[in-house]
């Protein structure tokens, strides 16, 4: 049985051919964009920040930035590619700024308790066990009886409230929280847009979650019944790790 993830579903929606390369043919390129690299290190730094706090150790901002910079130096490699006309140091500085702003604006005043960080969760979409999903929650916190599923975004595109209220990823994660914590009656969805220093929040009703399960199952059925995986041309082609294997991507690059 295939266990899907939000990223796997999104891959099919963005480009069925990319989905085929990645999940059916299982082609590993070893490529990683610098945006993904920077985002991963920012996530690792925030995970350490909150994990240390739960152990009773409050890191100073300077310690946070030192950890981030050390990880950057250790993990940087030549397979990381840059699409935009920028230098690696510019991206590293962006990450530093995102962390410094988050620490000052949110972390210092955050009194919520961390339940866990960067944890893989399982989501049951039906009552038979036929359709399951998996995902990684950046941070689950609780204040009094309010659970909050938190997600850190390092991209430079800000989600509108309308789109946040329709977002699939965190809503699915809230289902996992309900299934694992019977006392989670009140769940908030929180996106931290680090490039903007903003939080976007949303909630889902039980009816909305039921509809989401149904739509997600239908999408999985569509994927599993697909015979021809055609490319879908978009600006995302520039960041596709398989663009050297796709004639459509080559047209975008020119």
Radius of gyration of the chain (CA): 19
Please report the pLDDT score of residue 244 as a whole number.
82
Question: In this predicted model, which residue has the larger pLDDT, 29 or 248?
Answer: 29
**Which pLDDT band holds residue 72 (cuts at 50, 70, 90)?**
very high
What is the Cα 20 distance to its own chain's centre? 21
Q: Which helix (H) or strand (E) holds 148?
A: strand 146-153
Domains of the chain by range and CATH?
4-225 (3.90.320)
What tens digit of pLDDT does each residue of 162-187 get?
999 999 999 999 999 999 999 998 99
Nearest 10 degrees: Cα torsion 32, 36, 38, 40: -110
Please report the pLDDT score of residue 114 as a whole number.
97
Residues 189 and 149 sit within 8 Å (Cβ to Cβ): yes
What tens digit of pLDDT does each residue of 4-60 get?
999 999 999 999 999 999 999 999 888 899 999 999 999 999 999 999 999 999 999
CA distance 134 to 172: 9
Q: Tell me the mean pLDDT in the region 220-227.
A: 96
Q: Tell me the mean pLDDT in the region 93-119.
A: 97
Mean pLDDT of the chain: 93
CA distance 40 to 110: 22
Please report the pLDDT score of residue 238 as a whole number.
82
Question: Is the pLDDT confidence value at 78 over 90?
Answer: no
Q: Which helix (H) or strand (E) holds 68?
A: helix 61-75
> Of 244, 202, 22, which Cα lies nearest the Cα of 9?
22
Please report the pLDDT score of residue 235 as a whole number.
82
> Of 217, 218, 219, 212, which Cα lies nearest the Cα of 189?
212
Residues 10 and 129 sit within 8 Å (Cβ to Cβ): no
On the 0-12 / 13-18 / 19+ scale of CB atoms within 10 A, 109 is exposed
Whole-structure pTM value: 0.91
Q: How many CB atoms lie within 10 A of CB 183?
A: 9
């Amino acid at each position: 049985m295939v266990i899907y993830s939000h990223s796997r579903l999104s891959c099919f929606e963005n480009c069925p051919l990319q989905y085929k390369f990645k999940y059916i043919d299982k082609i590993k390129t070893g490529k990683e964009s610098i945006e993904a690299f920077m985002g991963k290190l920012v996530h690792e730094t925030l995970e350490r920040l909150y994990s240390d706090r739960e152990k009773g150790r409050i890191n100073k901002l300077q310690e946070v930035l030192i950890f981030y910079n050390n990880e950057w130096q250790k993990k940087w490699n030549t397979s990381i590619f840059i699409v935009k006309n920028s230098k690696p140091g510019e991206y590293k500085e962006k990450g530093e700024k995102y962390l410094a702003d988050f620490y000052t604006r949110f972390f210092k005043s955050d009194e919520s308790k961390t339940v866990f960080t960067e944890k893989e969760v399982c989501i049951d979409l039906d009552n038979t066990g036929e359709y399951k999903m998996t995902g990684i929650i950046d941070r689950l916190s609780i204040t009094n009886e309010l659970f909050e599923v938190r997600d850190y975004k390092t991209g430079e595109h800000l989600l509108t409230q309308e789109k946040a209220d329709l977002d699939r990823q965190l809503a699915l994660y809230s289902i996992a929280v309900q299934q694992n914590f019977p006392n989670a009656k009140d769940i908030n969805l929180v996106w931290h847009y680090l490039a903007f220093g903003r939080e976007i929040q949303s909630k889902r009703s039980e009816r909305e979650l039921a509809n989401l399960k149904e739509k997600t199952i239908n999408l999985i059925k569509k994927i599993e019944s697909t015979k021809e995986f055609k490319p879908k041309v978009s600006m995302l082609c520039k960041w596709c790790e398989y663009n050297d294997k796709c004639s459509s991507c080559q047209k975008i690059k020119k």
